Structure 1
Amino acid sequence: MVVCGDDGLAHRLAAELRGVYGEQVTLVVPPDVRIARPPVVGRARAASAALLDRVVSAAVGRANGSGGNGGAAVAGEGPRGERVLEAEEATEAVLAEAGVDRAAALALVYDDDETNIRAALTARRLNPRLRLVLRLYNRRLGQHIEELLDQAAALAIGDPDGGASDASTIVLSDADTAAPALAATALAGTGKVVQTDGLVLRAVERPPGAVPRQDAGRGLCTLALLSTNPSGPDLVEGVGEQRPQLLPDDEEVRAAGERGVLVLEQVSSAADAASPAGRGAGVGGGVVPALSSLFSRRLRWSLAGLVGCVVALAVALSVVTGMHPVRAFYYTLLDMFAIDNPAIGQSLGRQILQLLSGLMGLLLLPVLLAAVLEALGTFRTGSALRKPPRGLSGHVVLLGLGKIGTRVLTRLRELHVPVVCVESDPDARGLAVARRLRVPVVFGDVTQEGVLEAAKIHRAQALLAVTSADTTNLEAVLYARAVRPDLKAVLRLYDDDFATAVYRTLRAAHPRAITRSRSVSYLAAPSFAGAMLGRQILGAIPVGRKVLLVAALDVAGHPQLEGRSVEGAFRAGAWRVLAIEGRQGVAAGEYVLRGGDRVVVAATRRGLAELSGRVPPTHPPDSLS
């Protein structure tokens, strides 16, 4: 396997392939270690603790009011035993040095789409039978690139139909993989959604004591037991705490006690999966503003009052003159619009009502003018960024509108969750999306005083910090906690050791507040690794700093599954069959799996490696239960 990249995802992916699947890996990274740094697994925790102390001191102080070589050079072996090449770009010479012509799969996970496409075209020419996995942010372009590279491979091999070759091109996006998990983490009662063959499954957290059961055909089953720490069940456990337990058996679920559970439920349709979540009225909408957003509340009340006066005058005219109500309403409008029909020689009541109608007509003119001006102003500023409304509450404050933040914003709006974004870069790629979705944006450095206050952090339900800088995310959470100690905070943190130090410190300082950490590269790496091995990874469900994979597998060739019932194919802590493609609902326990079936399984990283035959099983096939 060959992995080329310039950020943390490349190192995570190489570690995943070698550590979990036992593959031989060649890693191609830039020579500048500041650009591509390996996962912090063996780095001394003292360094992370020291960095945390410095950031905490700075943030608390503010909260209290204070101020082109294209050649490759063999650099030896990496920390996990992979072969490492240092090169600025994946040129033809570099790919040849990495052994692409002999490799089974190549992953191109550079942060730039153009770099990945250029390298993919070169690699396909060097090895038409190579399985290619590309990281592309542009999804539409990715579909065209898949078709182009697959067609080129089929023609080079001499198989126009593409049926006799294992060569394939798979385009993935780390942003698309991680965004649903990040959005679900920030919201209570919202879980990771997985779709396959018309079946929609959702993983949601339940409080302690909520043991799942088969209910109303939704097919609930337990995916994990969470940590025993009620304030932060998903990060790092301290003394006396129990770590999250993936895929427990029935006895372990019954003995869960006060532990929270992560359960799987079947959703009837995709629309149900995107049901509204969060409190408060939604902010934003489609491209065309709603009618209520065209006019201010004061103007709407003025219009309503005038309409009421017109109706009252029409009723009074009908009573005084005995006129039909429709005719009375017509005469009232004539009087309001000063259409010449004076009530000379008529009764005093009719004359008084005509004078009142004329007066209401004079009052109506400025109101109509104000309505026109407000509507024009609303459409004129429809393409401009909005500011947070005064009465906004129950929203999510999203920090960062880069690649990850943009996808998270889109996911939150699909769930009809009110969002306020904070961004310091006026050229950030997510600003166009925020403008299109009419989401309020606050410009400024989140570490400066007043920025989070402008985003209404004191009335928010959660803070979601997803910038690429760990220290910036931490600093924002510390400042927000100084404003509101019980705020739910979700951080994007790359280093495992740093996340450990952060969690323990924040838990000690704010024991009742929920703090959660997610690593984008850790969530995305299993999907990329599965694609390199030819496996279809449908999703990754985060359970603390661990991850549970949902994959589609053919039963044929898997002795752990074939000829066994769904219940008998289950192995605690390794894998569980969730559904059988082509059959409605979650898989029934008595159904016997046949060679022609294709199943959806939830598995740990090690469990999926055993099912794939990449590592020897920890239990013989005949001892599975």
Structure 2
Amino acid sequence: MAKDTQQFITLRRFSISIVSVVLLIWAGTTGYMIIEHMTPVDALYMTVITLSTVGFSEIHTLSESGRIFTLALIIGGTSLFFFTLSNVAVFFLSGEWRSHWELQRNIRMLRKLNDHFIICGYGRLGTNVATELQEKGIPFVIIDTTIEKILLARDLGYVALKGNAADETVLKDAGLDKARGLIAAANTDAENVFIVLTARTLKPGLHIVARADCEESENKLLRAGAERVVLLYKSAGRKMANLLIDPGLEEYLDELNDAKNLDLTMSQFSVSESSSLCGLSFRQADIYNRFRVNIIGYKLPGGEIHTSPIPAEVIQKNGILIAIGKPSDIDALKQFAAGEEVKTG
């Protein structure tokens, strides 16, 4: 039996035990009031001392019906006591209380997510994507159909949700309406097509990246709504070829993408109309001396990309700068490109 189902059963039995105790006290109090004509306080007192078997004296001598009712109450109370005790023991000794607490914590974290990524599939690719996002401090939620993978993700402190990512309800529970993007990394291309199609239907403007094993699936995923498709074997083949041809360059590129090894990052961002950069040439903007950031590419508003833009080229509104530098310097330039006032050195 799946662990989440077992947890639900245990919690249900535990809740039933507590409710049963309350109902038994209510039944005992009502019974004494009807049979022995006691006041509510006296009836409650008799019920409690009977169920607890403390042996205090009776309010008054009971009638034959009252004694039979008391015997039934003692038998019911004793049986319920051992049933409740066993459920409490199972709940705490089996660690279900910890699982329940972690589940509630996961729900609270899920509700707080905003501008996050949704990782659909926690296999080998999804695991690496989650690690990268975690290291960069980017919020995300994981969706997977396997409870073992979900529990593994939660043990690492990740927000994880069990379910089929192609299900509209599951995507909505993962905060799709507030999400920044989605990664379709399920085990099969067919699953990813359905995930992309569902996500694109629910949120047309969502940024979606999907994985694919074969080239035939690339067009299907793009038609379904993916903006980018990563062909795993093609990407791996290109990387292996580069390692053979120029291992030093490939190692350097890896370091650029690894914040742990080198304090450099690569980023792209749009130039706002309100930014002082608009209308300036790259020479006039003097970005490197002002921000210590290198511009390695410039994408025109129409989509044309210029690698290593010439100094005389003019920066246009809605143009996209592709830059490399320290994270703090990149953030400063990004704010300046958005039209915010930033102090530069």
TM-score normalized by the length of structure 1: 0.28
| Between structures 1 and 2, the one with greater helix share | 2
The structure having more radius of gyration, on CA atoms, is 2
TM-score normalized by the length of structure 2: 0.45
